[in-house]
């Protein structure tokens, strides 16, 4: 059995945001090790985990941009 959230569900949004964090850090150094967990509520986004050699370098801005796009998207009308 596996989890398969539908588009627009908070689990899917959390997966997308964790991918943003992963991609950002792999762009800087493709040998980085990243363990990222994203938790969402109606008003907050919590990003937890471990990143070796962490550099913030626009992480918060990229997350805010992606979250804004997700909130405006057609497939997300019911979630947030």
Judged on CB neighbours under 10 Å (0-12, 13-18, 19+), 10 is middle
Determine if the pTM surpasses 0.85: no
CA distance 12 to 30: 24
* The predicted structure's pLDDT at residue 63: 86
- Encoding tokens for residue 21? 């964090």
Q: What is the CATH number of domain 10-72?
A: 3.30.300.10
**Residues 13-72: tens digit of each pLDDT:** 888 889 988 888 888 888 888 888 999 887 888 988 887 766 666 788 888 898 888 878
């Amino acid at each position: 059995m596996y989890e398969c959230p539908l588009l627009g569900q908070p689990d899917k949004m959390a997966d997308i945001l964790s991918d943003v964090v992963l991609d950002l850090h792999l762009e800087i150094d493709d040998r980085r090790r990243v363990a990222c967990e994203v938790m969402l509520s109606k008003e907050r986004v919590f990003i937890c985990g471990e990143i070796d050699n962490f550099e913030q370098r626009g992480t918060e801005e990229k997350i805010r941009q992606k979250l804004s796009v997700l909130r405006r998207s057609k497939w997300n009308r019911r979630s947030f």
